[in-house]
Amino acid sequence: AIQMTQSPSSLSASVGDRVTITCRASQGIRNDLGWYQQKPGKAPKLLIYDAYTLQSGVPSRFSGSASGTDFTLTISSLQPEDFATYYCLQDYNYPYTFGQGTKLEIK
């Protein structure tokens, strides 16, 4: 199975900060990667798919990028509602595999 290594596992930041979260795939997955936001007690929510494409309704402060097997989620200016846990997911093939998650906390 393809392994997704996500970093950092946790991150403290302030409202207005720019933050980046990274996932590295153990092999090439084209751009078959999504980013999800999960708040406590809730289901994950799709933010970005195909590495770059913003899901409908998601604020433009979220963006995704890719370089080889490295993928990045960037939040350009953190808002209070962005404090949550973020996961990447590779859907290049089955089994889909998730990153370990990044918990974004208020500094």
Partner 1 sequence: EVHLVESGGALVQPGGSLRLSCAASGFTFSNYAMNWVRQAPGKGLELVSAIRGSGGSTYYADSVKGRFTISRDNSQNALYLQMNSLRAEDTAVYYCAKDLGSWSGGIDYWGQGTLVTVSS
Residues that bind partner 1 (CB under 8 A): 32, 34, 42-46, 49-50, 55, 87, 89, 91-101
Please check whether residue 71 is in contact with residue 25, taking contact to mean a CB–CB distance below 8 angstroms.
yes
The nearer residue to partner 1, 69 or 76, going by C-beta atoms, is: 69
Residue 22: both structure tokens together: 């990274």
The nearer residue to partner 1, 17 or 91, going by C-beta atoms, is: 91
The nearer residue to partner 1, 67 or 94, going by C-beta atoms, is: 94
Residue 75 CB, nearest approach to partner 1 (Å): 20
CA distances from 105 to 52, 66, 92 (A): 24, 25, 30
Residue 2: both structure tokens together: 């393809």
Identity at 92, one-letter amino acid code? Y
The nearer residue to partner 1, 19 or 102, going by C-beta atoms, is: 102
Residue 1 CB, nearest approach to partner 1 (Å): 9
Residue 98 CB, nearest approach to partner 1 (Å): 4
